[in-house]
Amino acid sequence: ISEFATHRKDSASAAAYERTTAEAFEALTTFAKPLVAMIHGVCIGGGLAIAASADLRIAADDARFALPAARLGLGYHVNGVERLVRLLGPSTASELFFTARRYDAAEALRIGLVNQVVAKAELERFTAGYVAAIAANAPLTLRAAKRAIAEIQRDPARRDLATVQRLIAACFESTDYAEGVRAFLEKRPPKFRGA
Mean pLDDT of the chain: 92
Tell me which residues of the chain have a pLDDT lower than 70.
1-10, 13-14
Query: What confidence tens digit (pLDDT) does each residue in 127-182 have?
Result: 999 999 999 999 999 999 999 999 998 899 999 999 999 999 999 999 999 999 99
Q: Are 114 and 57 in contact (CB under 8 A)?
A: yes
CA distance 36 to 59: 11
What per-residue confidence (pLDDT) applies to 188?
A: 96
Task: List, in sequence order, every residue forming a beta bridge with 118; answer none if it has no partner.
Answer: 60
CA distance 55 to 72: 28
155 — phi, psi (to 5°)? -55, 135
What per-residue confidence (pLDDT) applies to 73?
A: 85
Task: Note the pTM of the prediction, 2 decimals.
Answer: 0.86
Give the angle 131-127-66 at the CA atoms, nearest 5°: 115
Mention every residue, 6+ apart, whose C-beta is less than 8 A from residue 2: none
Give the angle 25-26-30 at the CA atoms, nearest 5°: 120
Residue type, 8: R
Q: Are 64 and 41 in contact (CB under 8 A)?
A: yes
Task: List, in sequence order, every residue forming a beta bridge with 65; answer none if it has no partner.
Answer: 43, 103
Closest to 38 (Cα-Cα) out of 132, 128, 106? 128
Closest to 97 (Cα-Cα) out of 62, 64, 72? 72
What per-residue confidence (pLDDT) applies to 22?
A: 78
What per-residue confidence (pLDDT) applies to 7?
A: 63
